Structure 1
């Protein structure tokens, strides 16, 4: 339900750039989140030793980034509905670049954590507004298909980032990781300036009014299928962030991998994500969003239960972690783009706010999962594996309870 205030047309736009170039920029904006997280994973044990902090505190470089990212979504969505996608993107990428440069100078762990918080706030503009732009341009299954293409490209970041991070650590120290992130931020800022035109053709002057925000978020949050899809993808994020937080200490400290070897192992896991995203581009068009999500959930459950069984059976081997997680991430590549399309699809006039709210929920639970795995760390893979299995089962149960099965009557108009 929209406010009575009539949206106004956006200012005239220059012609859109070539579709391939625009897709490359949008993919980069979506990929900035996994890049910013995953490039640091091989360095977590190093950071802990450098600043003399324990595992739980070291996890803050992940969890505060995710927390800042999640909270900022509640602002970026409405701001982009009010002022347009392009100016808000430029502001976010500028903040990300500044925070990355500041992190290269960090003299203390507290300084580094503060920079990571600012990085998360700035990075948030990328995926939130890239997805909203897709919703501006497409409808229905085409939204899921386009998001799947972005997800397939996005999957390159977690494949390449930990490998690159490990190699950077071999050649230098952890500050080089933030130099790399600053360079990426500068390229994306230039790309947005040169290539991204305004896609929000109906600017809403009332979108940032507090009363309007509360009404819009209440409307979105009370929609049954929005809740179902959002909680489903959020449960998947719990498993993903449990792995992100726990795997460096399990694979490097417990199983003895070098940072660059960890990067290659992590890349193997993320190949599952890319494969799932590529499958999702076809499945969403041929089978529909719901069937695609169900197939992904089956992979969630298989991977989660397999890792938990091996961990509690005290099977301590790299394959016992990497194999099950690759299966889980195969499912993640199918669940995430289709789940996000299902969540924001019913709200064409509030796409920015809907994308922001679902992202906020995902990242908030992801930050909590990261912190929990750090707090429960016992030197074994059991805390990570248990949370992975629980998230997989939770996602399947939520989806079964709140979203209709394939072929059932749609609920797009039902609160």
Structure 2
């Protein structure tokens, strides 16, 4: 009699989940170095070329609301396999787009399909590891995710220099195929029994209306999206300060940018080790406090006109460490109260994150004056708001 096949190890499942969570940085950061070449290839303006990001992000954020209920109805695994297959098709269309308009449409499809991966990865973590275990696993997954955040721009730069902007999309296609294979082989269905009417439009919106004001969801979600918005200020504004404002070369600027990702990895790893012992509340508030301190240093050095990239990157490393403590804990805590609707809850918080991050990116573009003061000031204000939105309420509601 044959023995049943052994279940995949936690390490293997963690690797699959990391691939899923990494869909966004792989799809955006690898393309970033190729935008000038893409702009010249299609003969469009720089502002038009940047639409390859805004169309992607808009579709990515909106579809966060759709995948959760679908996965709660039909399961995580089939939705992931279909979405990642569409992702590969869209990515190939991007690489061979004959016109800029076609590229934008393909990017929108790429973003719409890619959003299933991180949204449902969070739901799978909650399905498999429960309330307490999900926080620890999320911290480890986000720590491994940092490797993609550091490596994606470097890989993209090498590929663009070697084969042009299309090469970044070929890389994304390979990533998509590897992810499909990993999900197919190693990720078994984890969804609890879902409601049969989960796909009804009225039911879906009623669910979102019910989730949003729930105190346990709202307190964690608001704090999470405020810190996420501050991170978007770093992602979209750091090179404006370091390269444009301080005149540092882009290659050195890219290395300095990696400081932030390294800090996030370290924070997420620490949260993974200490999450069960200390609990999410202490880590969320500690992460916010560290972020406030680090952002204040950025503002102070900018006000003193210390025009040095390290003066931005080192405090940003500390800020991202605090974010690494905060993000996985607040994310897991927001989804934890809803085991039957974990997919919908994770999708809703993902939508709020993306929307808030896009607004923050627009804000830093307006406020930027070449110094680190508005950059750090916006990060400081959002970090303070993240702590204020959480600390007074967690004992009452959480």
TM-score (structure 2 length as normaliser): 0.91
| 1:219 shift after superposition | 1.7
The answer to whether the aligner puts 1:252 opposite 2:243 as a matched pair is yes
**CA 1:251–1:54: 2 relative to 1, 3 Å:** farther
Partner of 2:114: 123
Partner of 1:271: 262
| Aligned with 1:104 (options 89, 95, 98) | 95
Partner of 2:342: 351
Partner of 2:223: 232
**CA 1:377–1:46: 2 relative to 1, 3 Å:** farther
Partner of 2:8: 17
**Aligned mates of 2:39, 2:368 — CA distance in 1:** 14
**Aligned mates of 1:148, 1:164 — CA distance in 2:** 25
**Aligned mates of 1:75, 1:323 — CA distance in 2:** 39
Query: Structure 2 matches for 1:10-409, cutoff 5 A?
Result: 16-44=7-35, 47=38, 56-404=47-395
Residue by residue, what CA displacement relative to the aligned partner does 1:152-207 show, whole Å, maximum 9, x if unpaired?
11111111112222222333422222221111111111221222111014132111
After TM superposition, the structure 1 stretch with the greater mean CA deviation from structure 2, 243-252 or 185-194, is 243-252
After TM superposition, the structure 1 stretch with the greater mean CA deviation from structure 2, 63-72 or 74-83, is 63-72
| 1:382 shift after superposition | 4.2
**Aligned mates of 1:169, 1:264 — CA distance in 2:** 17
SS at match of 2:379: helix
- The answer to whether the 8 Å contact 2:253/2:309 transfers is no
Unaligned runs of 5+ in 2: none
| 1:113 shift after superposition | 3.2
Unaligned runs of 5+ in 1: 1-13
After TM superposition, the structure 1 stretch with the greater mean CA deviation from structure 2, 350-359 or 56-65, is 56-65
SS at match of 1:207: coil
**Aligned mates of 1:97, 1:230 — CA distance in 2:** 31
SS at match of 2:189: coil
**Aligned mates of 2:239, 2:322 — CA distance in 1:** 22
- The answer to whether the 8 Å contact 1:42/1:260 transfers is no
- The answer to whether the 8 Å contact 2:35/2:165 transfers is no
| 1:377 shift after superposition | 4.2
**Aligned mates of 1:154, 1:395 — CA distance in 2:** 23
Residue by residue, what CA displacement relative to the aligned partner does 1:363-384 show, whole Å, maximum 9, x if unpaired?
1111222233334444444443
**CA 1:58–1:245: 2 relative to 1, 3 Å:** farther
Which structure is higher in helix share? Answer: 2
Please tell me the root mean square deviation across aligned C-alpha atoms, in Å.
Answer: 2.3
Partner of 1:3: none
| 1:51 shift after superposition | 5.4
Residue by residue, what CA displacement relative to the aligned partner does 1:108-152 show, whole Å, maximum 9, x if unpaired?
544433333222211111111111011112222211001111111
**Aligned mates of 2:361, 2:48 — CA distance in 1:** 11
**CA 1:243–1:41: 2 relative to 1, 3 Å:** farther
- The answer to whether the 8 Å contact 1:148/1:277 transfers is yes
After TM superposition, the structure 1 stretch with the greater mean CA deviation from structure 2, 84-93 or 299-308, is 299-308
- The answer to whether the 8 Å contact 1:45/1:248 transfers is no
**Aligned mates of 1:376, 1:158 — CA distance in 2:** 26
SS at match of 1:361: helix
**Aligned mates of 1:108, 1:377 — CA distance in 2:** 32
- The answer to whether the 8 Å contact 1:250/1:381 transfers is yes
| 1:271 shift after superposition | 0.5
Q: How many equivalent residue pairs?
A: 395
